[in-house]
Amino acid sequence: MPFLAQWANQHANLILAGAAIIQAVAAGLIAYLTYRLAPSTENYAKLTRGLLDLQRSQFDREWQPNLHSTLFLEGSEVRLRIVNLSRNAVVVTHLFVNIEGKEGRGQVDLDIPIPGLVQRESADLSGSIWEAVLPHVDEHAWSGVLKLSVGFLMAGIPSPSNPVFYHASMHNGHVTELHAKRSPIVWEHDT
């Protein structure tokens, strides 16, 4: 044992230098690994955040109403049919009528409670739609595109639905033509 102590005393500077070199190499290795792992950690955090956002939107979508509104002619009357495809009950409070490309909007007050998985229809809306397009009427007639959406209450929180577009023609306060504006479907077929 005295031999080992004597050798350590003789080579103390060398041992301390070796220990310092090992510490420096370890610090360099840790810095390198940190540099390499930081982007991976950031990617993992982004993926986790994205997954959380996706789960939150799926949960919200499950509880949000899924309303489908259709405007249709029944004789000389214009009616609104609303189908609630979700499980939650809503109260449809407004019909918003815009003319595509024009400022301003008409608003029709409604009070239509709709339980989940049920459809309801409104009373005649011809007069209300005529009032909305009246500033744009030329010689008692109007023709153009209506942008319609409904406002609803769910759990006391007001929300608008997605808009639906209709080609409409009116004459002397009556709707003479009404059909949904459909987006063109482009289908490329390889033969």
> How buried is residue 144: exposed, middle or buried, by Cβ count under 10 Å (0-12/13-18/19+)?
middle
Contact indicator for 184, 135 with CB cutoff of 8 Å: no
For 80-95, the pLDDT digits (tens) are 999 998 888 899 999 9
pLDDT exceeds cutoff 90 at 104: no
Please report the pLDDT score of residue 13 as a whole number: 84
Six token digits for residue 3? 């031999």
User: Alpha helix locations (H) across the chain?
Assistant: 2-10, 12-63, 126-133
Which CATH entry fits the domain spanning 64-180: 3.40.50.1970, 2.60.40.10, 3.40.50.300, 3.20.20.70?
Answer: 2.60.40.10
For 21-79, the pLDDT digits (tens) are 999 999 999 999 999 999 999 999 999 999 999 998 888 777 778 888 999 999 889 99
First to last CA, the chain: 91
For 143-180, the pLDDT digits (tens) are 999 999 999 988 788 888 888 999 999 998 889 999 99
Please report the pLDDT score of residue 190 as a whole number: 59
pLDDT exceeds cutoff 70 at 186: no
Question: How many Å apart are CA 44 and CA 46, to the nearest integer?
Answer: 5
Mean pLDDT, the chain, rounded, equals 87
The residues spanned by each domain of the chain are 2-61, 64-180
